[in-house]
């Protein structure tokens, strides 16, 4: 019995511990898990920002970027986050529709990409591509058409409903094939061996040898080359061009610390934040860092870019519908 | 005999059950209120989920049938192998309560394109092309647990066949298969309906398995659709409606069977078994095949131990998950124990008074088995939203876990708890024994061993659970299974396998240390 | 003639060694403390246990390694001799026809054997509906139907009341002699056995005392027996 009461005391202390923390001004950022993982850019960014703000940056995470918007919609942000970090350009319209965000006053001129939006600021961007193992796949396809013709090539993609790269692929295919997108989906359907729920799931399975190609970013080979010293993973270079993705952040309504949130948005467009993006989030920074991050740009050269599109949520739904039709058949 | 006088203790003991009943009813009313006020009610296109519903029941039916047949064959072979029943039974038990992520990752490790099997086949120059991220994978892992569950049932049934029956049959020269057939109805299959229902529910509720192994949007079960509705589509209404659909279908299927059973005989203990002489040699081969089959996921332990990395244990995330996991399990076990004892008490007092209301108590608890824990999550999520998030995630997850383990505890303990209840009841009236005294001095010592056994089992089940925590996790609240699955999905395979291995060893200790100590005590 | 030749068996800490002979057609009581080895002896004889060494001869044929069914032996226990979910007919005919077919020949056989054991009940009744004595008669009927030369009864009537036991013992005695059987009945109630026989095997510490059949008078001269019967 004595042991039992002792255990309960310990439990009680552990349960009460969070309430005992000394109060400092807090900035609560809601983002996807890998951004603030031990290997992501989050911890470094936190350190940098805390030295200048005299505040406590608290990360809250959802499993994947697809889950972020849904969560704040579901709760009306009653959980009181200040910033949502990690939406991408395809979700911007839907996010605005739900009236969950506040306008910002941050100057976004002079960035590496064209951007003007009164609610969101960009923090990184990338180009979708397929990654292959050059030691296994000798003649990589050079276009979507060739990819669809070569039935022997297996592919891992992500579910467009739940994953931003998955949605990105739907956008990409739509940009290229327009009305024929549904057809194209049907053509490559048999080559898709796995449709994963998140990018990291799918990418891991590709590395484990479950497929020849995986949907990812042109920047992915840079990780293998700079961190692992391996040159064997390369990204496909499609002559049709590559669709882009811009990741953004915005200040949420109900934000409890508006000033701090604004200063974080401004901070996000400075070197202090941006320098951690290339080799932390493995995307291109929105500031031009080609001088200081030469290694990164060498390992991940910019591809031929398609036009930037900002879809409405109905367009977005159409992309998904095209994909859905092909899987039901 | 009516129980006119209730002492204060009796009210005290009954309170937790009443609180539970109140909570459940409130929850359902809130949900109904929510559904009736939803303006976009017509948006729910039931038909668009037809495929999901079809697939859910198809895969459950398939896995359940495979498990029943294989479970029967396995049980028979284990029985014929003449090995120590205690060892066999606890082996099967252990396989049944293994964390789902362990068996899933273990199977991926063994069967995937770069897995052990593929390496072996490659070495033998045989073409190997099996996609584990498919229906096959889902069925395989779902069956793993249910085969263990079914085999354990049949095995226990077989070793409980009276020794003399077998001797009579043998001396009458009845061929082996015929003698099994003769035993079927009377012994082996009696009480099987409840096992079948439980097995079917486990097969339908294989969320974690589908979550990990579903490699295609076509392989979506209702529970996965519920998860996606909450996490990605912010659609609680759809989640709840899907959950209700599943609940109703399972109820319809199992009510006809379960209406006859108010106790489950699944967990009957075993007596002395009959030693089969002249067992065919091939039985030994089959025995080892079964052992190998159940050992396959454990191969991942080798990889895990070789990936030893002390640093991965010193991260805040790991320690946080570990402490949270323990807390969740302790809280759920506590809630479940209190609720179980309370409802068992009411259950028994109805029996004491020859009232058939005890069936209602049984149903009100067993009902929890049918409610998908994810749709319960959706309901509680909305409830909590209405209350401005006063419940922290840890409490919600603990509560949902305890709702899942309470019926297991209840079913497991009920037969022992009500043993001799009539004479006990008479004595409590004769000697004026108060309810609390009866609980502490008579009931608890009586069920002590069973209680310890079921507690460790449900503790482990709760520890390995990965359902509601996928919805209620946040940066400061994770459990070990979630942490492992996040490591895994971030391609931190070494760390994932290492922590998974430690987790399994930890579970093994929790599972067998108390029993071991108990036996040691008993010997002294 | 049944000849048991230095039949050895060991389980945990107890060891057994049986060595005796029985002439054909006699009724023998097997007595001894519980755990002395009565059931072990019966199980060895009927083939449910394998001896470590030694042999069993019946009519000059070595049956030590035969399967239970192939031995010329029938065995009956205190309980669980019948299948409660089967009918009387099925339980009896099981002894010679495992398909339990309702042929006219089978029916005739069962009827005649039922008469012999004084069972005057509808043969389609489920065994679970019978009284204890009737159930044992069904088992005995099955044993008789199989026409085996040796009948082993392992404490067969313990769960029945004394009056019924007496009648059944008498029946067994009559049948045993009319069918010229070697019948071994184990029991711990010597007085009841004395009513039907004066031939005893007294089992003590895993052995048959004196390795032979003894009369009650001879038994009384044994010190071990006197301790046992007190």
State which of B63-72, B218-227, C73-82, C143-152 shows the largest mean pLDDT. Answer: B63-72
Question: What is the residue-averaged pLDDT of chain A?
Answer: 87
Query: Helices H, strands E: what count in chain A?
Result: 13, 11
C147 touches chain B (CB under 8 A): no
Whether C77 sits inside 8 A of B167 (CB atoms) is yes
Instruction: Compute the CA torsion angle B465, B468, B471, B474 (nearest 10 deg).
Output: -60
Chain B positions touching chain A (beta carbons under 8 Å): 51, 112-114, 131, 133, 211, 215-218, 228, 230-234, 236, 315, 317, 323, 327, 330, 381, 385, 388-389, 470, 473-476, 486, 488-493
pTM attached to this predicted model? 0.85
Q: Report pLDDT digits (tens) over C56-80.
A: 999 889 999 888 888 888 888 888 7
The CATH architecture of the domain made up of B8-27+46-261+277-523 is Orthogonal Bundle (1.10)
User: How many CB pairs below 8 Å do chains A and B form together?
Assistant: 102
CB-CB neighbors (< 8 A) of A11 in chain B: 327, 330
**Rounded average pLDDT over B401-426:** 88
Which residues does residue A26 pair with via DSSP β-bridges, in sequence order? A56
Reported as a single tens digit per residue, the pLDDT across C167-203 is 888 888 888 888 888 999 998 888 888 888 889 999 9
Residue numbers in C near B182 (CB within 8 A):
83, 86
Question: Residue ranges of the domains in chain B?
Answer: 8-27+46-261+277-523
Considering the domain C2-229, what is its CATH architecture? 3-Layer(aba) Sandwich (3.40)
C partners (3+ CB pairs within 8 A) are: B
Closest CA to B192 of B287, B67, B90: B67
If you ran DSSP here, which 8-state letter would residue A78 be given? T
The alpha-carbon gap from C114 to the nearest alpha carbon of chain B, in Å, equals 18
Tell me what the mean pLDDT of segment B309-322 comes to. Answer: 88
Give alpha helix (H) positions in chain C. Answer: 38-46, 88-93, 104-116, 132-145, 162-178, 190-194, 216-220, 223-229
Which bin fits C47, alpha (ψ -120 to 50), beta or left (φ > 0)? left
pLDDT tens-digit series, residues C209-221: 888 888 888 988 8
Contacting residues for A225 by C-beta, under 8 A, at least 6 apart: A231, A233, A299
What string of H, E and C letters represents the secondary structure of B202-230?
HHHCCHHHHHHHCCCCCCCCHHHHHHHHH
Dist. CA B201–CA A80, nearest whole Å? 38
What does each C-alpha distance from A136 to A157, A213, B129 come to in angstroms? 19, 10, 16
- B172 and C48 within 8 Å at the Cβ level: the answer is no
Contact (Cβ atoms closer than 8 angstroms) between residue C184 and residue C74:
no
Query: What's the CA gap between B370 and B385, in Å, rounded?
Result: 24
B372-397 confidence digits (pLDDT tens):
888 889 889 888 888 888 888 999 99
pLDDT band at B105 (very low <50, low <70, confident <90, very high): very high
Average pLDDT of the residues in B175-180: 73
- Arithmetic mean of pLDDT, A50-78: 86
Strands (E), B70-172: none
Partner residue facing C75 (CB), from B171, B173, B277: B171
Mean pLDDT of A198-221: 90
Walk me through the domains of chain A, giving residue ranges and CATH numbers. 24-125+245-299 (3.40.190.10), 126-244+303-328 (3.40.190.10)
Per-residue tokens: B166: 């077998």
- Mention every residue, 6+ apart, whose C-beta is less than 8 A from residue B206: B59, B60, B63, B100, B138, B141, B142, B221, B223
pLDDT for residue A173:
93
Instruction: Give the closest residue to A262 by CA, choosing from A115, A49, A95, A51.
Output: A49
- Main-chain phi, psi angles of A288, to 5 degrees: -75, 105
Mean per-residue pLDDT of chain B:
86
Mean pLDDT of B401-419: 90
Length of chain B in terms of residues written: 524
Is B4 a residue whose pLDDT tops 60?
Answer: no
Task: Report whether B71 contacts B153 (CB < 8 A).
Answer: yes
What does the domain layout of chain C look like in residue ranges?
2-229
DSSP H or E segment with residue A260: helix A258-267
- Please determine, for residue B187, whether its predicted confidence score (pLDDT) is greater than 70: yes
Q: What percentage of chain A exceeds 90 in pLDDT?
A: 44
The distance in angstroms from the start CA to the end CA of chain C is 34
DSSP string, B285-314: HHHHHHHHHHHGGGHHHHHHHHT--GGGGS
DSSP label at residue C56: E
Whole-number Å distance between alpha carbons of A221 and A300: 7
| C75 with B162: Cβ contact below 8 A | no
Count of residues in chain C = 230
pLDDT at B252: 85
Helical packing angle, A65-75 and B222-231, nearest 10°: 70
How many interchain CB pairs under 8 A, B with C?
59
From B113, B217, B385, residue closest to A327, measured CB to CB: B217
Q: Is the CB of C87 inside 8 Å of chain B's CB atoms? A: no
Predicted confidence (pLDDT) at residue B259 exceeds the cutoff of 70: no
Is the pLDDT at A45 greater than 70? The verdict is yes
Cβ neighbours around B230 below 10 Å, total: 25
Does residue B267 carry a pLDDT above 50?
no
Q: Which residues pair with A32 in a beta bridge?
A: A62
Q: Is A26 on the interface with B (CB under 8 A)?
A: no
**Residues ≥6 apart with Cβ < 8 Å to B32:** none
Whether residue A4 has pLDDT greater than 60: no
Q: Please give the span between the terminal C-alpha atoms of chain B, in angstroms, as a whole number.
A: 43
The pLDDT of residue C18 is above 50 = yes
B186 in C contact zone (CB under 8 Å): yes
How many H-runs (helices) and E-runs (strands) does chain C carry?
8, 10
pLDDT tops 50 at residue C161: yes
Q: Which residue of A has its CA nearest to B493?
A: A204
Mean pLDDT of C102-118: 88
């Amino acid at each position: 019995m004595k042991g039992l009461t002792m255990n309960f005391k310990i439990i009680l202390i552990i349960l009460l511990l969070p309430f005992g923390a000394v109060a400092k001004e807090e900035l609560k950022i809601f983002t996807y898990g890998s951004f603030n993982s031990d290997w992501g850019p989050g911890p470094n960014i936190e350190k940098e920002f805390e030295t200048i703000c005299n505040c406590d940056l608290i990360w809250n995470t959802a499993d994947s970027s697809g889950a972020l918007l849904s969560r704040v919609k579901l709760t009306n942000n009653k959980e009181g986050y200040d910033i949502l970090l990690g939406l991408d350009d395809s979700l911007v319209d839907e996010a605005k529709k739900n009236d969950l965000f506040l306008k910002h006053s941050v100057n976004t001129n002079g960035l590496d990409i064209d951007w003007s939006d009164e609610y969101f600021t960009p923090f990184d961007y990338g180009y979708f591509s397929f990654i292959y193992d050059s030691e296994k796949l000798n003649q990589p396809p050079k276009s979507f058409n060739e990819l669809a013709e070569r039935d022997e090539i297996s592919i891992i993609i992500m579910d467009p409903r739940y994953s931003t790269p998955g949605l990105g692929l739907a956008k990409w295919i739509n940009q290229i094939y327009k009305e024929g997108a549904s057809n194209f989906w049907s053509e490559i359907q048999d080559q898709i061996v796995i449709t994963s729920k998140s990018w990291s799931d799918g990418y891991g399975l590709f590395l484990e040898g479950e497929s020849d190609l995986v949907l990812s970013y042109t920047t992915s080979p840079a990780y293998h080359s700079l961190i692992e010293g391996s040159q064997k993973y390369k990204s496909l270079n499609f002559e049709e061009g590559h669709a882009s993705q811009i990741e953004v952040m915005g200040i949420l309504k109900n934000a409890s610390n508006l000033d701090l949130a604004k200063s974080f948005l401004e901070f996000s467009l400075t070197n202090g934040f941006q320098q951690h993006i290339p080799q932390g989030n493995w995307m291109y920074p929105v500031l031009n860092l080609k001088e200081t991050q030469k290694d990164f740009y060498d390992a991940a050269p910019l591809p031929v870019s398609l036009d930037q599109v900002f879809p409405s949520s109905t367009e977005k739904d159409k992309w998904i519908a095209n994909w859905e039709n092909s899987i039901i058949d | 005999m009516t129980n006119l006088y209730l002492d204060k203790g009796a009210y005290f003991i009954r309170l937790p059950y009443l609180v539970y009943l109140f909570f459940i009813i409130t929850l359902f009313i809130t949900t109904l209120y929510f559904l009736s006020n939803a303006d976009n009610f017509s948006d729910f296109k039931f038909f668009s989920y037809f495929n999901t519903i079809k697939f859910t029941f198809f895969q459950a039916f398939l896995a359940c049938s495979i498990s029943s047949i294989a479970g029967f064959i396995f049980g028979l072979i284990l029985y014929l192998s003449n090995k120590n029943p205690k060892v066999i039974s606890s082996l099967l038990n252990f396989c049944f309560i293994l964390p789902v992520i362990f068996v899933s990752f273990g199977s991926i490790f063994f069967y995937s394109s770069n897995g052990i099997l593929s390496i072996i086949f490659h070495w033998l120059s045989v073409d190997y092309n099996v996609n584990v991220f498919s229906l096959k994978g889902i069925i395989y892992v779902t069956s793993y647990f249910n085969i263990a569950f079914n085999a354990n049932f049949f095995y226990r049934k077989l070793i409980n066949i009276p020794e003399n029956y077998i001797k009579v049959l043998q001396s009458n020269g009845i061929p082996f298969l015929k003698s099994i057939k003769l035993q079927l109805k009377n012994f082996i299959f009696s009480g099987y309906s409840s096992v079948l229902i439980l097995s079917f529910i486990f097969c339908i509720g294989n969320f974690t398995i589908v979550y990990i192994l579903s490699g295609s949007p076509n392989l979506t079960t209702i529970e996965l659709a519920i998860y996606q509705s909450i996490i990605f589509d912010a659609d609680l209404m759809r989640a709840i409606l899907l959950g209700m659909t599943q609940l109703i279908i399972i109820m319809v299927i199992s009510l006809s069977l379960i209406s006859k059973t108010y106790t489950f005989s699944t967990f009957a203990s075993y007596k002395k078994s009959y030693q089969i002489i002249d067992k065919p040699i091939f039985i030994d081969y089959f025995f080892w095949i079964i052992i190998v089959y159940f050992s396959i996921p454990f191969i991942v332990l080798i990889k895990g131990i070789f990936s030893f990395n002390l640093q991965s244990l010193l991260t805040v995330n790991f320690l946080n998950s570990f402490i949270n996991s323990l807390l969740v399990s302790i809280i759920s076990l506590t809630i479940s124990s209190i609720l179980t004892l309370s409802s068992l008490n009411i259950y028994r007092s109805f029996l004491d008074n020859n009232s058939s209301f005890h069936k209602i108590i049984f149903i009100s608890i067993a009902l929890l088995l049918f409610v998908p824990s994810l749709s319960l999550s959706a309901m509680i999520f909305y409830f909590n939203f209405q209350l401005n998030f006063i419940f922290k995630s840890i409490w919600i997850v603990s509560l949902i876990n305890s709702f899942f383990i309470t019926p297991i505890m209840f079913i497991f303990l009920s037969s022992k708890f009500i043993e001799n209840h009539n004479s006990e009841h008479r004595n409590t009236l004769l000697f004026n024994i108060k309810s609390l005294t009866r609980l502490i001095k008579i009931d608890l010592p009586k069920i002590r061993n069973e209680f310890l056994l079921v507690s460790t089992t449900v503790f482990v089940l709760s520890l390995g659970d990965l359902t509601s925590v996928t919805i209620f996790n946040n940066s400061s609240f994770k459990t070990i299974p979630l942490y492992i699955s996040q490591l895994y999905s971030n391609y931190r395979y070494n760390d994932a396998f290492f922590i998974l291995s430690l987790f399994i060893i930890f579970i093994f200790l929790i599972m067998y240390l108390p029993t071991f100590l108990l036996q040691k005590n008993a010997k002294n | 003639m049944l000849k048991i030749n230095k039949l050895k068996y060991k389980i945990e800490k107890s060891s057994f060694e049986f060595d005796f002979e029985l002439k054909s057609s006699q009724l023998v009581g097997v007595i001894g403390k519980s755990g002395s080895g009565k059931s072990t002896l019966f199980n060895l004889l009927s083939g449910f246990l394998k001896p470590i060494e030694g042999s069993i001869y019946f009519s000059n044929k070595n049956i030590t390694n035969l399967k239970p069914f192939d031995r010329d032996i029938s065995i009956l226990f205190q309980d669980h001799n019948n299948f409660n979910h089967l009918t009387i007919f099925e339980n009896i005919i099981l002894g010679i026809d495992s398909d339990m077919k309702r042929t006219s020949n089978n029916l005739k056989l069962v009827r005649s054997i039922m008469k012999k054991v004084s069972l005057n009940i509808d043969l389609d009744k489920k065994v679970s509906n019978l009284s204890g004595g009737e159930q044992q008669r069904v088992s005995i009927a099955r044993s008789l139907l199989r026409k085996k030369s040796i009948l082993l009864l392992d404490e067969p009537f313990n769960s029945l009341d004394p009056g019924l036991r007496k009648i059944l013992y008498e029946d067994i005695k009559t049948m045993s002699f009319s069918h010229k059987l070697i019948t071994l009945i184990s029991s711990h109630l010597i007085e009841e056995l004395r009513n039907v026989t004066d031939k005893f095997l007294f089992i003590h510490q895993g052995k048959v005392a004196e390795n032979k059949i003894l009369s009650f008078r001879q038994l009384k001269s044994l010190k071990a027996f006197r301790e046992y019967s007190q």
